[in-house]
Amino acid sequence: MDNDSSTPTAAGPVPAKQHIRKMPVNWWLKKPAYLRYMIREITCLFVGGYAMFLLMLAARLDKPEAFETLLASPLAIGLQWVALPFAIYHSVTWFNLTPKVLVIWRGEDKLPGFLIAGAHYAGWLAVSAGLIYFAMSGGTDG
């Protein structure tokens, strides 16, 4: 008797064979949307690396000299200049994607996507302005 996916056995149905389509290594270079997707995914590495850097800084907060030395090192300054555009690209593409995955209904109508993305951009701007104000005013010193 031939077992196919519809013929049950003592252990249950036999799973169907998976068809895995062969993809070229450079599939993501074929369309601009695919390239933007891959760039966005790569930005996660830089955002994660910067998060690790912030954890290293936080671990040195109780030692002001070590904190300042790490923050002023050329490697740290370079990391921040490299991470900034990647973090901005990551944030912008995330906020632009949000209306596609966060659909808000008001009765029978969908809330327009630009309002959803706009709310995220407004929040980003408000938090950034607050952090800049906090940093420029001397933090908790005054």
pLDDT digits (tens, 9 = 90+) for 15-32: 788 888 898 999 989 999
Task: Read off the tokens for 58.
Answer: 């936080």
pLDDT for position 5: 55
Give the list of residues 6+ apart from residue 79 with CB closer than 8 angstroms, or none. Answer: 49, 50, 53
Counting as low any pLDDT under 50, the low residues of the chain are none
Query: Model pTM?
Result: 0.70
Helical H segments across 7-112, by residue range:
32-59, 64-72, 74-101
pLDDT for position 60: 84
DSSP track, 1-37: ----TTSEETTEEPPPPP------TTGGGSSHHHHHH
pLDDT for position 42: 93
Name all domains of the chain by residue range, CATH numbers in brackets.
26-141 (1.20.1300.10)
